[in-house]
Structure 1
Amino acid sequence: MMFKQLFVILFVIFSSTIANAFEDKPLILDKSYVKLGYGFVHLPENNNVTQGNGDGAIDNTFPDAKYDFKYDAGSSFSIAAGNRFQNFAFELSIDQIVCDIDSVTSDTAIKTTSGDVSLRTIMINALYYPNFLKFNKTNIYLGAGVGITEKVDLDESGITGSRASSNLSFKSSSDLFNPTYQFILGAEYSISNYISLYSEVKNTIVKSVHLARGSSKETYGSMEMNPMSAVIGIKFSF
């Protein structure tokens, strides 16, 4: 709820500021740009996730079982292209996030042996560069974005537990086109008129993730994923 309220506040600020800018004078395109970045991701654990029903379920013997997901630190590769208008920028960004699985456990004593989860987000971001946060060649900026997580993919190399006498083999579950929004805090250092270094911290919220093996084989019930990434990279302006 706090994130939704903050997103509304940021949207109002962006909208009102842009409207005032148009009243004074139209926004003029300063530069177009492309950004490439790489960084680290922390993916908070998901607890008490229900399982699906039918063929996709992990264990139909215990249909009410709940599962806890824990993830290792991961990595993020980011690419974005956008336009800068004085104190504002609007961009399309694509992020590929990958985290190894630390464990998937349940109250019915099942544990996954290893695996990874990957997310690919496609976002439209609005960035604001306030004048009071500009220090010589360094500019701090704030941003918010909306879009989709084009794919969430969970790969589990095997499942073991007190009811499993041997590894229950590889399982892969995925979900497509999940509503996503994010908040951005960034800093940019200008090397020249055409090249800058940048760093961003992103808090991304992926809604209503239902992992399934096929269209009618839901493996896990609804959960929300919240990758938090820190990225550094290079920006080319033209």
Structure 2
Amino acid sequence: VQCDLVPCAKPYMGAEQPGAPPDPTRGPRGPFGTGESSPSYGQCPVSRAWRDPSDQEVTSTLALKKLNAWSHGHGSFFWNFKTELEPKWDYIRAVDRGWLPRDAQADLADVASACEEYDEAEAFVCRAKPGASDGEVIAGVDWACRNAAVKLAGCDAPDDASKLAHASRVFDGYYSRYHTAGATCDFGGAAELDDDGPRSTPHPARARDNPPRLLLFRGQLPPG
């Protein structure tokens, strides 16, 4: 992740906020993420602007997809309550600009349809990731076979070589069955979603189970 750096802002909570603004005489310090993700010599990291599509479009799309996903899974989603530098990560300013829905718990049509393209039976297939090591693929297959409530196609392979040949069938079988309960197409980094080609197991339709709880963080987090 590559961040942009801008002069650190004065803390919106006033001078009593500990450690803010960052000391301009000090170099990078934690907590560290990926890329240039910590304040350094008076410069603070911010997300690079999206130009095509725009920041506004990306932020709105991301918010709707988060609300959709969390309403079917864990029931909550995370957004910063207020930040000094970036409106798109500032819940109040993003709502005021129309990027986020004003009522995050409302049963909105835009939220309900935000992930339809991912749920269509022919849209995406969960496949073994090209370049994943044999060990990663084998571990992912073993995990899926152990944790599925039903026997998945490919789980009866007699040895590791056969498991590798059937890895995509196992991954897609598990993902298509459990993604509405929060499962992802990852399997320890061994799998990825692919939109090239039909799937054999349709994704079940998603229902809006629970209105999401909004978790707000007050303060600025390094975006990188």
The bucket for the TM-score relative to the shorter chain is: under 0.3
Structure-2-length-normalised TM-score: 0.21
Higher strand share: 1
The structure with higher relative contact order (CA 8 Å, sep 6+) is 2
